[in-house]
Copies of this chain bind each other. A is one copy, B any other.
Amino acid sequence: LQKNITIHELAKIASLSPSTISRALRDNPMIPESTRLSVKEIAVKYGYRPNSIASSLRSGRSMITGVIVPRINRNFFSNLIGGMEEVLFEAGYTLLIFQSHDTHNNEVAGVRTMLNMRVDAVFMSLAAGTLDSSYLNELSEKKIPVFMFDRVDDSLPFSSVKMNDYEAAYLCTRHIIQHGYRKIVHFSGPGHIMVYRERKRGYLDALAESGISKYKPLIINNILTREKGFTAMHELLKSPEKADAVFSASDFSALGALLAARQSGYSIPDDIGIAGFANEPFTGFLQPGMTSIDQNPVEMGKTLARLFLQGDLKEVHRRVIPSKLIIRDSTLKPA
């Protein structure tokens, strides 16, 4: 058992005081170069490992940040966290992760842990189960900056990084219309989540603008999974006035729709056009490839981290990361 050596012991060895050791190790300019070097040499020689815990307690900065997401195994979140970690690590911060599994209780527990750990920042995307996020105000009261992404609540005074869901949905729907589809159905998510409301709005505006008003918009809520997309599509195909395209707020339900349509003998994109959202890796490997929207999650994560690091605590920043419509064969109806 190798006990960790402390600055007190290093001080004895170097015949200096603990404060000098502390200063030397952190490159305090008051300490002359020569002592700094010799102190560091001794530190290396004796395998000194600074105790971050003690340092945190004394300084009041933990150098720990935390991120709360619904689940980490989604392509969007894991890429975002990856980008975030990269930038934070570079700056000497560590990153704690929590999964809310989309329930409010887990999210609250996660925030409590963040408070107890005295993290220096919280990054989060709200759980679907969170209807009231005002409890997050405790974080601001304790001066812990909060950065939101994806599922944000704009009524709270927190900085956020988002993509323009409205615009992306608008452009995607317009693209679908331009390729000759007319009866376009929209799969949406729970109505209280902002990103889904925004995507819905983009879809509606594109339709309204197109002048194809004789086909009423058709929105089906809460269709985010492969299974629900599959079932919903089968329902649609049975109805008298069939849809000829689906614009889904989720790649997974779009996939379900694609599989259902294919199972019923429809050809994509000839009979039915399909587009999803998020550009999950599989969308590029499907046959035909599925049109989707790349949210640029790595860049979002990096931006979140930088927003925190630049440390302008007073202002609320709302950054918008450009997204990209990825057009693939699933919406390219032959003329």
Contacts and interface: CB of A to CB of B under 8 A. Distances in A.
A53 B51 CA distance: 11
Given A49-B116, A57-B57, A116-B52, A86 B99 contact: yes
A104 B155 CA distance: 44
A287 B286 CA distance: 7
Contacts of A11: none
A81 interface: yes
B116 A47 contact: no
Contacts of A74: 78
Nearest to A298: B73
A159 interface: no
B285 A141 contact: no
Q: How large is the interface on A (under 10, 10 to 19, 20 to 34, 35 or more residues)?
A: 35 or more
Given A1-B143, A282-B281, A285-B285, A85 B57 contact: no
A86 B103 CA distance: 13
Contacts of A1: 141, 143
A304 B49 CA distance: 26
A116 to B, nearest CB: 5
A116 B64 CA distance: 12
A85 B73 contact: no
A85 B285 CA distance: 30
A6 interface: no
B97 A97 contact: yes
Contact of A85 (B75, B85, B97, B138): B97
Contacts of A62: 53
Given A85-B99, A287-B287, A94 B73 contact: no
Interface string A89-111: 10000111111000000000100
Interface string A249-288: 0000001000000000000000000000000111001110
A157 interface: no
Interface in A56-87: 56-57, 62, 64, 71-75, 77-79, 81-82, 85-86
A45 interface: no
Contacts of A314: none
Contacts of A115: 49
Given A2-B142, A57-B57, 19 more contacts: A2-B138, A47-B138, A50-B116, A51-B118, A53-B57, A53-B62, A72-B78, A72-B82, A72-B85, A73-B79, A73-B82, A81-B97, A85-B98, A85-B99, A89-B109, A89-B113, A96-B97, A281-B281, A285-B286
Interface of A: 1-2, 4, 47, 49-54, 56-57, 62, 64, 71-75, 77-79, 81-82, 85-86, 89, 94-99, 109, 112-113, 115-118, 138, 141-143, 255, 280-282, 285-287
